[in-house]
Structure 1
Amino acid sequence: MKLNRPALDRHAATWVVGVLYGLFLVAPIGFFLFGKAGLKSLSVDRYVASDLARTVGFTVFQASLSSIASVLLALPGAYLVSHVRFPLRRFVQSVSLVPFVLPSIIVIICMISFYGNSGVLSRLLNLKIRLIYNFSGILIAHVFYNYAIALRIIGEGWSRISPRYSETAMSLGDSKAGIFFRITLRLLRPTILSALILIFIYCFMSFGIVLVFGGIRFSTLEVRAYQEMFIKLNYGNAALFAVVQLLISVFFFYLVSRFITKGQAARRNTSPISLVKFQALSAQARITTSIYWVFVGVFLIGPLISMIMRSVVSGGELSGLAYRSLFVPGSSSRDVRALIRSDVPTVIFTSVGIALASGSITFVSAFGLSLALKGRRNNTLRSFVMLPMAISMVTLSIGLRVFYGNVLSFKVLVIIGQFFLAFPLVFRLTDNVVGSMNVSIIETARSLGAAGFNLIRTVYFPILRRGLANAYAFAVAITFADFTIVINVGRGQIATFPVAIYRLIGFRSFDLALALSSMYIVICLGLFLIIDYSSMGKGEIIEGLITNG
């Protein structure tokens, strides 16, 4: 039987993905977990079992509480963005996404700047508020980080619920509270559960936030695997914590995929509802809405603004000393090069270079696979591509370092690790963009002689350039923000923005960390605006990452 060219392309794409995942994902993780230095070297005693149970309990507890708090805070906002046309609605949706694209280490800096003992909140209230470096710090940072996910998922799902249900119930004499709990909440249940479980997974695999704020008392499975591997040098215990985390995260990843599918099916035949003007609301509703958005604005924007403001203030006066210290040697008593083990221009060059390399490889691979799978319902392969989302990046980083550390350079291993970090998300975007291309246009171009790269250059790129630009920008943004892979693979030999900031925090040079973080936010915000204000707009990128594919 002779296969045609598209079939050969699809089979080749399947094999390429399989080989890449086998060589650089399955093999390193399998070697680390089940090799001689992994579980085979493990000696489980009562202390290890007790430590594991305690760590699992805390990991599940903090992830559960963080996800519930994120959803509860986002519920009123989800209703408002899906039902009310209020002032600055688009701006609110865009700004809410900023924490989502920030590295965890910068979220930590924001929390310290706003909620710390000498933070803005403590100064405003003239109290010593201890909200960080403990469990409350972990919880606040996780909600700050994941609010946008809950807002997007629930808001999008709520907008697809037909108003006819509530109108019919109201005509039968049901109260607004009864309609919400008996009808709306039941229809929203798959959407809310998918948001809860997805945020749970993110918090369950949280690394940087728990590493800094947890201290000695609070450690998750991710942090314990890191500590056992690099601090205690106990490969067996590190493998044990990593295996338990892998099993639990795969289970919850399976659950979220099931609930997302149900949520899509429930709203597939409905159309978005019309928005109510803000002025048409009652006076009480307008006041309540305004109070809610002011609170959310302070919660989300306050830490970002306080971080930027404190980076340009020294001794109560405006000053550029922190920025000058970063770039001009000898301008302060601290040796920045010794603190971050590099100079700032090199940090910028390294960060941008690795991000562009990782992002470019990720985008090209995702786009190629999307082209090969266009028009083909291969749910098995698409699900397989999502596998890295259920795998701890600490586990992958350790596996790459142990398995390939003597063969490949650490920078190459970082790029490989970041490929798996970004590929599932970027593939969802490119698959959705390529899938929207009209097949008749492609067939017409082929009949006129266009094929291969010429077809991509003359047809796909001109028509899909904005959506593909979004996917590429997002690929670079994800890799640019990576902290976990660089610190676990590089182990001090590679300094990027997040790693340099982490070192400055460790040496209590908060003013320098604030300045470096502000520089990162300027770069990141520019990239984010390119993503969110392009043709897909209105946050469809995040919705596409979560609900499509």
Structure 2
Amino acid sequence: MRARFNFQSLILLVPLAFLALFYFYPLGAILGFSFFGSGALDLSGFQEIFSDPYYLNVLWFTTWQAALSTILTVIAALPAAYIFARYQFRGQTLVRALTTLPFLMPTIVVAPAFIALFGPRGILNTALMNLLGLTVPPIQLLDTIWIIFLAHIFYNYTIVFRIVSTAWANLDPQLGNAAQMLGANRTRVFFEITLPLLMPAILAAALLVFIFDFTSFGVILLLGGARLATLEVEIYRTAANLFDLPLAAALSLVQILFTFIFILAYTILQARLAAPIRLRPQAITRRALKTVGEKIFVAANIAAMLLFLLAPLVVLILESLQTAQGFGLQNYFALNENVRGSATFIPPTDAIRNSLLFASITVALAVAFGLLAAYAITRTRRGGGVFDAVFLLPLATSAVTLGFGYIIAFSRTPLDFRAALWLIPVAHTLVALPLVIRSIVPLLRQIKPNMREAAALLGANPTRVFREIDLPIVTRAVIIGAVFAFIISLGEFGATTLIARPEWTTIPLAIYRLLGQPGLANYGQAMALSAILMLVSAAAIALMERARFGEGAEF
């Protein structure tokens, strides 16, 4: 018994120690610096935030753009959620997998994709100018709230779609049928029976989307221009451009408080989703398309959904091939060319090497800590739920806030790690760790205890039981978690902008710098680099879908 206790304590203490040093300590440093940045109690940062109209406007803009983006995302995704919940048709699994692409794409790819589609030199404006003989681009969406709404819907569509469609597919259709037999029409059935039963799932999905939109960084920074800024963008600009660290710390603390409140509300809604209601297997609740009207309805919705979700990504590839002489690979061949002759030029190919190196380290760290944490969560009889919530906390913390915390916490002895190369993959690991854990925990919970007990009775120690019983069963989940970590590391932008040294530029940083420089050559290289990142991420997502073990896996 003591050996078992020591073993379980050890596997729990290792990931907790990692979380304590690289998550709680930086957040604590932000908390302390926001109140005692000058060496004594100083509330001037908070006074400035809540008295200066500029920062109040930033807080208000952050809130209302996230709320409206969430509402639009829910409205856009509900028709597809209904179709996938109630109908069975050929190619359904493939279409469902394709909807995941935008959400798992790095945000630094989403912004160039929308620039390639809607920008002044984008494919839509170019086509309309050639068709109508115009000299000015007719579509002016860049640096406006409208392109931010479109990008947020594009990025978060699959969250609402997957969560709501899964809940809807498990609702018993007989509830609605019974109401119709009593005289209720379809509209009344939907609003009085289906919608109330779906509301916990809709609210949970909406709150998760709201959290992502509230902490939006790359989309706002690249598409919103200098005029539009969320709290996340303002923290970055205050720390990196204005070097006002006490004010940036106060802004970070405000955002942390808001996001923790939102994630608490999300966990409460998730608990309500687990409330006992009459559920039926999806094989029973779904049916084949019968009438011509149903086929047209489903085909039109699927076509519109795929057009919206895939068009920006396809256009990005086309734009990366566009040159002054027509289509070609010149933008890719020019990735090592120093167009402006800058002495500080970092070849984008070096950024690719750096990103792959950091992603490899991140996968190793995230899988190792994720396995230990998932095993501890599922094997701990008391407090397993508490530890589960603790390991999910990084999901409620923005990457920019985390990176800023590293600047404050690791810039002085004895923990002066600011120049350490390994700090970048450590930050990436923290961002990826919650998703790795959520990939592994469901399968570990499905392992029957008597399998482990039988192995123990035959003389196997806990390490051997884990290696020969648990690990083979969760291998596919580990692969999915590793792919999550790889994709997240490749596209991580928020924390990396603050802690990466110039010689360790990653692909997202190289894209951001190329987009910020004038000239068609830099624009073409940015599109080419974005296309490479997108294709590598898409290949990783395809591997993950191939390893997926069914509808029961957590999103």
Following TM superposition, by how much is the alpha carbon of 1:454 offset from its aligned partner in structure 2, in angstroms?
3.2
**Local SS of the residue matching 1:97:** helix
**Alpha carbons 1:242, 1:392 under 8 Å: kept:** no
| Paired AA for residue 311 in structure 1 | S
1:74 is matched with 77
344-353 vs 451-460, greater mean Cα deviation: 451-460
Label 1:171 to 1:46 Cα distance change in 2 as closer, same or farther (>3 A). Answer: closer
Following TM superposition, by how much is the alpha carbon of 1:222 offset from its aligned partner in structure 2, in angstroms?
0.8
Q: 1:31 and 2:44 equivalent?
A: no
How many angstroms apart in 2 are the aligned matches of 1:524 and 1:370?
25
**Local SS of the residue matching 1:131:** coil
Label 1:269 to 1:81 Cα distance change in 2 as closer, same or farther (>3 A). Answer: closer
Q: 1:490 and 2:503 equivalent?
A: no
Label 1:40 to 1:185 Cα distance change in 2 as closer, same or farther (>3 A). Answer: same
1:64 is matched with 67
Query: Which blocks of at least 5 consecutive residues in structure 1 are unaligned?
Result: none
Label 1:174 to 1:427 Cα distance change in 2 as closer, same or farther (>3 A). Answer: same
1:346 is matched with 350
**Alpha carbons 1:396, 1:417 under 8 Å: kept:** yes
2:394 is matched with 388
**Alpha carbons 2:436, 2:484 under 8 Å: kept:** yes
How many angstroms apart in 1 are the aligned matches of 2:77 and 2:150?
14
Following TM superposition, by how much is the alpha carbon of 1:452 offset from its aligned partner in structure 2, in angstroms?
4.3
**What's the CA shift string for 1:462-512, capped at 9, x where partnerless?**
232222221222222222221111111115342111111111111142211
Label 1:461 to 1:45 Cα distance change in 2 as closer, same or farther (>3 A). Answer: closer
Residue 527 of structure 1, aligned match among 540, 545, 550: 540
**Alpha carbons 1:33, 1:243 under 8 Å: kept:** yes
How many angstroms apart in 2 are the aligned matches of 1:48 and 1:233?
21
1:454 is matched with 464
Residues 88-167 of structure 1 mapped to structure 2, 5 A cutoff: 88-126=91-129, 128-167=138-177
How many angstroms apart in 2 are the aligned matches of 1:270 and 1:83?
12
How many angstroms apart in 2 are the aligned matches of 1:16 and 1:235?
32
1:355 is matched with 359
**Local SS of the residue matching 1:374:** helix
Q: 1:5 and 2:3 equivalent?
A: yes
Residues 358-437 of structure 1 mapped to structure 2, 5 A cutoff: 358-377=362-381, 378-406=384-412, 407-408=416-417, 409-437=419-447
How many angstroms apart in 2 are the aligned matches of 1:466 and 1:187?
33
69-78 vs 436-445, greater mean Cα deviation: 436-445
Query: Which blocks of at least 5 consecutive residues in structure 2 are unaligned?
Result: 130-136
2:89 is matched with 86
Q: 1:274 and 2:285 equivalent?
A: yes
**What's the CA shift string for 1:198-225, capped at 9, x where partnerless?**
0000010111111122222211111111
Residue 322 of structure 1, aligned match among 331, 334, 339: 331
Label 1:191 to 1:290 Cα distance change in 2 as closer, same or farther (>3 A). Answer: same
Percent identity, aligned pairs only, is: 27
Q: 1:288 and 2:297 equivalent?
A: yes
Figure out how many residues of one structure are paired with residues of the other and give that number. Answer: 533
Label 1:161 to 1:449 Cα distance change in 2 as closer, same or farther (>3 A). Answer: same
**Alpha carbons 2:394, 2:434 under 8 Å: kept:** yes
Label 1:47 to 1:527 Cα distance change in 2 as closer, same or farther (>3 A). Answer: closer
How many angstroms apart in 2 are the aligned matches of 1:46 and 1:524?
38
**Alpha carbons 1:101, 1:481 under 8 Å: kept:** no
How many angstroms apart in 2 are the aligned matches of 1:46 and 1:101?
34
Label 1:497 to 1:266 Cα distance change in 2 as closer, same or farther (>3 A). Answer: farther
How many angstroms apart in 2 are the aligned matches of 1:235 and 1:382?
32
96-105 vs 342-351, greater mean Cα deviation: 342-351
119-128 vs 518-527, greater mean Cα deviation: 119-128
How many angstroms apart in 1 are the aligned matches of 2:25 and 2:164?
38
424-433 vs 66-75, greater mean Cα deviation: 424-433
**Alpha carbons 2:50, 2:56 under 8 Å: kept:** no
455-464 vs 140-149, greater mean Cα deviation: 455-464
**Alpha carbons 1:10, 1:373 under 8 Å: kept:** no
How many angstroms apart in 2 are the aligned matches of 1:274 and 1:449?
47
1:235 is matched with 245
**Alpha carbons 1:114, 1:121 under 8 Å: kept:** yes
How many angstroms apart in 2 are the aligned matches of 1:481 and 1:203?
17
Label 1:415 to 1:48 Cα distance change in 2 as closer, same or farther (>3 A). Answer: farther
Following TM superposition, by how much is the alpha carbon of 1:261 offset from its aligned partner in structure 2, in angstroms?
1.4
**Local SS of the residue matching 2:378:** coil
2:133 is matched with none
Following TM superposition, by how much is the alpha carbon of 1:106 offset from its aligned partner in structure 2, in angstroms?
0.5
Following TM superposition, by how much is the alpha carbon of 1:285 offset from its aligned partner in structure 2, in angstroms?
3.0
**Local SS of the residue matching 1:40:** coil
**Alpha carbons 2:443, 2:473 under 8 Å: kept:** no
Label 1:266 to 1:514 Cα distance change in 2 as closer, same or farther (>3 A). Answer: farther
**Alpha carbons 1:433, 1:468 under 8 Å: kept:** no
**Alpha carbons 2:480, 2:547 under 8 Å: kept:** yes
How many angstroms apart in 1 are the aligned matches of 2:221 and 2:327?
32
Label 1:338 to 1:162 Cα distance change in 2 as closer, same or farther (>3 A). Answer: farther
How many angstroms apart in 2 are the aligned matches of 1:393 and 1:67?
20
